Structure 1
Amino acid sequence: MALPPLTALAFCLVISTGGSQGFTVEPAQSDLYVRIGEDAEFTVRPSSAIEGGNWAFKGKTIVMWIGTSSLIFAEYRSRVNLNFTSGSLALRSVNESDNGAYTVTVTAVGGAAQASATVTLHALEPVSRPHITSNANSFIEHNDTVVLACVAAGTDVSYTWIEYNRVIPNGGRLELSASNTTLTITGVLRSDRQFTCRASNPVSAETSEPFHLNVFYGPDLPIIIPDPDTPAYTSGTDVTLTCSAESKPAAVLGWYLQGDLVPSGAQITIPNVSTKNSGSYSCRAFNDITGRYRTSSILIDIKDGPDNMKITPRVQ
């Protein structure tokens, strides 16, 4: 087939101003998102049979056709595949330079009606697996502010922060930057332990490895447990007091007996109790990282006779 007649006829089809008579062409989607390097499928649906048409990108013709004869412009000859029946177009191996608006103009059989549709191509680089960094290696509960940053490669990347399985909303102690690339945690808590970041764009999504915060906390108020744990003791019984306190790192524990610090660790034993053992027994828990300490006390009142001894907890 000689090119000039085809070119002239296709041109006539494009500039035809015949009435639409209800003839339309609709794109399957007005915005087409494709990974860079993959093929873009510009699917369109004319309302009736078509005779020919053309596709243009940024005002420059890519391909024109009549029936099953087509003219593909030089720079697209190895990249274009045309569906003559519907006018749909496939563009192979797209890249960022292909981004923009593609307009198809088709003519109904008989040439009396013409319709156009536009599809905008977004060729995007898929996101890489994101990585989380922190402003410090460790934090002290209630004192410190945590700043986590999420970074991923790709085009038009959006970020979502997740704590365990909960998507983090913006506001309160947990504040997101305008771009969602950073998460700021004010007054960090021991419960702020594990965070992940999800990076996505319309063609891909990846999630970071869980990021675990190292938060030092405590000590909490010590708990003192007597053994035997009974409301009444017989004179001469050995009584053991055990102290524990939630803390990271583990709290240093010591006992105050009648006001004097006894470096005995978590447990002390009072052998062969008698009235002379009456008094206050206090356990102090100290965290040498947070610099905090808490104290709990038990008041032991030992009496001769059948009632013998009472233990009364007291918190300082």
Structure 2
Amino acid sequence: MAILVSLLVLLFASLELTSTLIAHENIIDSAPGTAVYFLVEHTGSGISSIIWKFNTSTVIVEALGGSTIYYGAYKDRAKLFTNNATLRLDRVTHEDSGVYEVQVTDDNGSASSAKITLQIYTQMSNVTVVISPVSDGLVEDEDNVTLKCEAQGTSPTFSWSHAGKPLAENPRFILSTDHSSLVIKPVKRSDSNSFICKATNAVSSEHSTPVKLHIYYGPDSPHTNVSTAMCDSNYPGDYCVKEGAEVTLLCQAQCFPDCNYTWWHNGKPDSSKPVHLIQNAYFNNTGNYTCLVKNAYAKKWNYSNISIFIYRPPLGQIACNAEVREDQVNLSCIWAGGIPQTTIELKVGSTSLNGLNEQYYTIAKTDSNLPIDLQCIGQYAMSTQTCRLTLDKPKLSAPTGNKITAGLNADVRLLLLQMKRARRFSATELLPTTFTWSKADTPTIVSGNKFSITSNNTFSQLIIMRFQKADEGTYTCLARNSIGQKAFQFEVYSGNGAVNVGLIAGATVGTSAGVTIFLVAAFYIRKKKRESLNDDALKLNQSHKSQSEDVPPDACRDVKILDGSTSEDGAQVVYAQVKILKKKEKTAVDPADPYAKVDKSTKHRNTGVPDVVYSQVKISKKAENEGNN
């Protein structure tokens, strides 16, 4: 055991006596003019001597026995740190590049050494990019270009960036082995962004100024825009322009430098600008237009074609016409004056005729043919219109009664009027209606002291002024058109009994589709003893102004209280109200009012005319009792 311990002691003692020398860096890169430290670390017993050499043979410094000696040119540039054998070398130059070796001997006489390589690099400067071939511009997809990076400095390495980003891999980008040259084959318009070369060595890096390539490209296929609507597929031309209108043709193409534009019209140059304005378009402006775009630098051109059609709309609206001559009816559809000509289709029953601008058809006027339903359909470049005409002689369509009881001294109005139904096609009134009023004792009633007649082609009204018992009887209105005629009758009587709300009768007259004649009779038929009129009667007079717009201006709009008009028994006349309900409107009836009545007639399913409601002025119980006495 004692022997083992002795061996271990000798082993550790020998390890402590062994000295080593370690260099912190085996290679040092530095730039001229700087100070370089050759850092080493010595382990073991104390240092007795140090010696530094350059490239094996040249002694830089030597330390022995407490004295340090510098040799040659190193006297002013070298500094030895004897505590750890580190050397500092000031103001290095390219000539200082080489291998430096240090040898250290410790107090036990053990020697150790280390070597360090110093490389002096010149910093990068004057980095430039040379373009070849030299050219003002390069044509896209045709030309190639080489970018050569040159720089001053020691051992440079090169890298490239494009548009502010590292150069991406691209089969068109070909780099040399050292990356100093970049070949672009072929150039594209995207290469117009800046290229930058970066030169780098161990001690510095430097960029070139951005290099911008001028790439001539285009024209691409021109894009055209026209300030008008596209034509219908049934008509020639891409775009349709109304005669006299202004139209702008715009042509645009991607191009560098800016291209030259020429608009050609039917094979002849028409404008040398990308925007071509046609003012007051006329028919000679119809035709093919070509936008020709040229790039004088790239020696390329491109074009785009469009066609324009100038049209004139037909005059007015499409017309459905009928001319009645004895035993025949001449029908026609007319919509002329347009360019191109309007296509017309005339339909009567199962018969269909087609042509341009106008079509005619004759049909016998017999009762078996009535009603005659004519439909016209017209088409031209930008529009389609239709009209319809139904021809028939007057006839009742929805009668609900014809006996009226009127109060004495009332002004009784008998009204015959037309009301139009809204349709999707135009309805032209072509067969005017004439009205003739008569009574058994008066073959033809004319306006005078007793009667007032107002008529036109659409309505007729008869007012019996201050109605008396002598005025009782049957009143007839004969409605006549060129197809036929029909008589409408009113039986008007006086009486003090229950109020007869009156007659509501409808008659379809053969003038045009969707027109109905209504007979409205026996308005103001309730009597009241002389006394101040109540508020209800006054309100009635005011509310009557909100009538349907389809009623003629002077018909059913002057319902009022006749102040001072009295009967023999001193009664005063109170009028009733007429109201034409709009679509979907409901009539509210007070069930507690024994005098409020609503007519039960319904809307005719063909004419679609609104219901007419008669509502009576509410009379106080006192007045009612007096009226029954």
The 5 A counterparts of 1:79-158 are: 79-108=77-106, 110-111=107-108, 113-135=110-132, 136-137=134-135, 138-158=137-157
SS in 2 for 1:211: coil
Assess if the C-alpha contact under 8 Å between 2:17 and 2:108 holds in 1. Answer: no
Corresponding residue for residue 11 of structure 1 = none
Assess if the C-alpha contact under 8 Å between 2:103 and 2:112 holds in 1. Answer: yes
Cα separation, 2, equivalents of 1:67 and 1:225? 99
Change in CA separation of 1:111 and 1:63 when aligned onto 2, cut-off 3 Å: farther
Provide, for residues 141-186 of structure 1, a one-character-per-residue CA deviation record: whole Å limited to 9, x for no partner: 1111111222221221222222132222676211122232222111
Provide, for residues 95-130 of structure 1, a one-character-per-residue CA deviation record: whole Å limited to 9, x for no partner: 22211111223345x336543322111112212131
Larger relative contact order, structure 1 or 2 (CA cutoff 8 Å, min sep 6): 1
Q: Letter of the 1:27 partner, please give it.
A: A
Change in CA separation of 1:67 and 1:182 when aligned onto 2, cut-off 3 Å: farther
Q: CA RMSD in A?
A: 2.9
Assess if the C-alpha contact under 8 Å between 1:42 and 1:88 holds in 2. Answer: yes
Q: Letter of the 2:72 partner, please give it.
A: A
Moved more, 30-39 or 59-68: 59-68
Cα separation, 2, equivalents of 1:273 and 1:293? 29
Cα separation, 1, equivalents of 2:119 and 2:251? 65
Q: Letter of the 1:132 partner, please give it.
A: V
Corresponding residue for residue 62 of structure 2 = 64
The TM-score with structure 1 as length reference comes to 0.81
Provide, for residues 208-248 of structure 1, a one-character-per-residue CA deviation record: whole Å limited to 9, x for no partner: 11111122111122121222577875443211011121211
Cα separation, 2, equivalents of 1:307 and 1:68? 120
The 5 A counterparts of 1:267-286 are: 267-273=275-281, 277-286=285-294
- Alpha-carbon distance, 1:291 to partner: 0.8
Assess if the C-alpha contact under 8 Å between 2:124 and 2:200 holds in 1. Answer: yes
Q: 2:27 aligns with which of 22, 25, 31?
A: 31
Correspondence 1:266 to 2:274 = yes
Indicate the percent of aligned positions where both proteins have the same amino acid: 28
SS in 2 for 1:253: strand
Assess if the C-alpha contact under 8 Å between 1:170 and 1:176 holds in 2. Answer: no
Assess if the C-alpha contact under 8 Å between 1:159 and 1:180 holds in 2. Answer: yes
Corresponding residue for residue 180 of structure 2 = 181
Cα separation, 2, equivalents of 1:251 and 1:182? 33
Moved more, 112-121 or 30-39: 112-121
Q: Letter of the 1:293 partner, please give it.
A: W
Corresponding residue for residue 415 of structure 2 = none
Cα separation, 1, equivalents of 2:110 and 2:243? 111
Change in CA separation of 1:67 and 1:274 when aligned onto 2, cut-off 3 Å: farther
Assess if the C-alpha contact under 8 Å between 2:19 and 2:45 holds in 1. Answer: no
- Alpha-carbon distance, 1:62 to partner: 1.8
Corresponding residue for residue 205 of structure 2 = 205
Change in CA separation of 1:240 and 1:77 when aligned onto 2, cut-off 3 Å: same
Cα separation, 2, equivalents of 1:84 and 1:307? 111
Assess if the C-alpha contact under 8 Å between 1:235 and 1:308 holds in 2. Answer: no
- Gaps of at least 5 residues in structure 1 are 1-17, 311-316
Q: Letter of the 2:215 partner, please give it.
A: V
Cα separation, 2, equivalents of 1:187 and 1:98? 48
Cα separation, 1, equivalents of 2:178 and 2:272? 54
Provide, for residues 187-219 of structure 1, a one-character-per-residue CA deviation record: whole Å limited to 9, x for no partner: 111211211111221111111111111221111
Change in CA separation of 1:74 and 1:260 when aligned onto 2, cut-off 3 Å: same
Question: Number of residue pairs matched?
Answer: 292
Change in CA separation of 1:255 and 1:22 when aligned onto 2, cut-off 3 Å: farther
Cα separation, 1, equivalents of 2:94 and 2:118? 9
The TM-score with structure 2 as length reference comes to 0.43
